[in-house]
């Protein structure tokens, strides 16, 4: 299989996965609305301010899962973009 075809396939798999992870991460933080305190609550561990259309306080675990989801989605999107550009470059005929 030529390299540009392989890179196109990789892009075709990774890009939708990145979008799906991003949507899941955004859905996760949207589920916080109305369910997280607007004042720090040390008894529940929700002491970290998070601004999503207004300040709410979340736990370290909430932030971990948000950063894992958003960070993974962004990293996969960058990888998919690089593979797509490389596939385009390697697919061009050489003069």
| pLDDT tens digits, 56-81 | 999 999 999 999 999 999 999 999 99
pLDDT band at 8 (very low <50, low <70, confident <90, very high): very high
- Give CA–CA dist 50/35, Å, rounded: 13
- Give CA–CA dist 87/24, Å, rounded: 28
Predicted TM-score of the model (pTM): 0.85
pLDDT reported for residue 11 = 95
pLDDT band at 45 (very low <50, low <70, confident <90, very high): very high
Asked whether 47 and 41 are in contact (CB, 8 A), the reply is yes
Residue given tokens 């991460």 in the structure block:
25
């Amino acid at each position: 299989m030529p390299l540009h075809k392989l890179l196109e396939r990789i892009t075709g798999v990774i890009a939708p996965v990145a979008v799906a992870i991003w949507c899941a991460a955004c859905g996760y933080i949207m589920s916080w609305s109305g369910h997280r305190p607007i004042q720090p609550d040390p008894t529940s561990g929700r002491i970290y301010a998070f601004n999503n259309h207004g300040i709410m306080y979340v736990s370290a675990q909430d932030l971990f899962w948000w950063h894992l989801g958003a960070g993974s989605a962004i990293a996969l999107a960058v990888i998919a973009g690089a593979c797509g550009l490389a596939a385009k470059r390697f697919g061009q005929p050489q003069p």
